[in-house]
Amino acid sequence: SQELEQSPQSLIVQEGKNLTINCTSSKTLYGLYWYKQKYGEGLIFLMMLQKGGEEKSHEKITAKLDEKKQQSSLHITASQPSHAGIYLCGADIWGRGSTLGRLYFGRGTQLTVWP
């Protein structure tokens, strides 16, 4: 099965601190997706990265895909309690539109932000 390692498993930070979550694939990625999940709920799309070296930002969240397209990081600047939740990376190793198109997910990172 696709190996997608996500770290750390959990993260507890004080409000205002920066943090980084990593996602590493054993295979080259056609796409890397970042989602946020609140406990027991669905997934909220954050960002999609497809090109090696690509970097995207939305508000205080920045995601990068390395040149070799096998590792991605999600960085949150000046964290807030509203950032708390489970962050999941999803890997596309087949390419969208393929009959095998689907995502493989990491185990997630539980983020807690305390005031």
Partner 1 sequence: SAVISQKPSRDICQRGTSLTIQCQVDSQVTMMFWYRQQPGQSLTLIATANQGSEATYESGFVIDKFPISRPNLTFSTLTVSNMSPEDSSIYLCSVDTGYYTFGSGTRLTVV
Q: Is 73:63 a contact under the CB 8 Å cutoff?
A: yes
For residues 97, 100, 101, 103, the Cα torsion angle rounded to the nearest 10 degrees is -170
For the bound state, the minimum distance from the C-beta of residue 42 to partner 1, rounded and expressed in Å, comes to: 4
Residue 45 in contact with partner 1, rule: CB under 8 A: yes
Query: What is the residue type of 95?
Result: G
For the bound state, the minimum distance from the C-beta of residue 115 to partner 1, rounded and expressed in Å, comes to: 26
Residue 57 in contact with partner 1, rule: CB under 8 A: no
Among 19, 106, 111, 113, binds partner 1 (CB under 8 A): 106
